[in-house]
Amino acid sequence: MTGLPVPTMPAPPVAVVGLGQLGGSLAAALAAAGREVSGWDVDPAARDAAAARGVRIGRELSGVVVLAVPLPVLGTALDGLDVAPDATVTDVGSVKAPVQEVLGGRFGGRYVGGHPMCGTERSGHAATDPALFRGARWALCLEPATELPRWLRVAEVALAAGAEVVPATVAEHDAAVAAVSHVPHLLAAALAAAAGAAGPLALALAAGSFRDGTRVIASDPAFVTAVLEGNAGPAEAALEQVRAQLARPWPELVAAGHAVRTADPGRRPVRVPLDRAALLALGRAGGAVTRRLAAFVEGWVPEGG
């Protein structure tokens, strides 16, 4: 036996179930990056659109299987599809505890909960954009039961699509997105509803601050409600924190909010060993993984973090 170089492990194929905005964009991004990608959608038009972007259409799912379907149908999205017994399964749902319960219960340590922090108020395969994930954060959950090599395999998929990977536990993820995504939807709804109740003159005088502050509630109400109900506990806790902030003296509140909104801490590059605790510490520090190497990952944390 001569000293042949150790072969790099080949990137596993990726199979995307649900070829709407998120799934279609991911499949297209991976196909464009030269990865082997297959996909499935119950809608023939979505399948045709993905096929035109180089996605092989089929019901056999192996390698990294990405469920990119709305939360209410996550539990049945694999019905009639053939999942390889050693497949790694991930998803892109906005809330992780209920999905961890369903898919973690079914796939055990082979399930890795994921949540790319992107997407727009548009939806469906017509909103597909291979650049959607570029520079976006993609939360990937590391639970005690999660098999680390599978977590890394899913992380490589997110990195290949151009995202930065944020490690977090399911509970940490759900609390964080309650504060930065679910409560903003509640505040937008309350702001719009209160302005509507204030009457036509108020709506006639609505300008930039009202438009910005209510933009997210233009999204599909069924989707917003499903996400809120799937994360009711953390969302209620985060809303309570906002209520507490609103009770502060206004000059103090305005200064505090302005400081957070305009902070730019900068980034410090870091290397993190392939270790559960170290990866979770990176996420808790507000950092992200940008590259996988053989024995560690590269990434960054906020300056001073």
Q: Among residue numbers 82 through 141, which ones bind its own copies (CB under 8 A)?
A: 117-120, 136-137, 139
Write down the least CB distance from residue 122 to its own copies, Å.
12
End-to-end CA separation in angstroms for the chain: 48
210 near its own copies, judged by CB under 8 A: yes
Note whether 128 and 46 are within 8 A (CB).
Answer: no
Residues with Cβ < 8 Å from 215, sequence gap 6 or more?
Answer: 121, 188
Q: Which residues, 241 to 260, sit near its own copies by CB under 8 A?
A: 241-246, 248, 250-251, 253-260
Tokens of 117: 């922090």
CB closer to its own copies, 145 vs 254? 254
- Binding mask 39-78 toward its own copies (x if CB under 8 A, else -) reads ----------------------------------------
CB of 1 to its own copies, least distance (A): 46
Cβ distance to its own copies smaller for residue 45 or 203: 203
Point out which span in 55-63, 145-153, 155-163, 182-190 binds its own copies (CB under 8 A).
182-190
Q: Which two tokens stand for residue 120?
A: 């727009």
Let me know: does 125 contact 47? Beta carbons within 8 Å: no
Q: How would you list the strands of the sheet with 64-67, edge to edge?
A: 56-57, 37-40, 14-17, 64-67, 88-91, 111-112
Is there binding between residue 303 and its own copies (CB under 8 A)? no
> Rounded to the nearest whole angstrom, what is the least distance from the CB of residue 52 to its own copies in the complex?
28
Stretch that binds its own copies, among 31-39, 63-71, 79-87, 281-289 (CB under 8 A): 281-289
Min dist. Cβ of residue 186 to its own copies (A): 6
- Smallest distance, its own copies to C-beta of residue 196, A: 4
Q: Please say which residue, 105 or 208, places its beta carbon nearer to its own copies.
A: 208
Toward its own copies, which CB reaches closer, 34 or 196? 196
The region, left, alpha or beta by phi > 0 then psi within -120 to 50, assigned to residue 54 is: left
DSSP calls for 248-272:
S-HHHHHHHHHHHHH----EEEEEE
DSSP bridge partners of 39: 16, 57
Binder among 34, 72, 149, 225 for its own copies (CB under 8 A): 225
If the CB atoms of residues 76 and 120 are measured against its own copies, the closer one turns out to be 120
Cα distance between residue 298 and residue 280, in whole Å: 14
Structure tokens at 182: 């679910």
In the list 144, 262, 264, 293, the residue contacting its own copies (rule: CB under 8 A) is 262
Helices (DSSP H) in the chain: which residue ranges? Answer: 21-32, 44-52, 97-99, 105-107, 148-160, 170-177, 183-198, 200-204, 208-214, 221-230, 232-246, 250-262, 276-284
Figure out which of the listed residues 201, 293, 294, 295 binds its own copies, where binding follows CB under 8 A: 201
Identify the CA nearest to 63 among candidates 88, 98, 99, 33.
88
The reply to whether 192 sits near its own copies by the rule CB under 8 A is yes
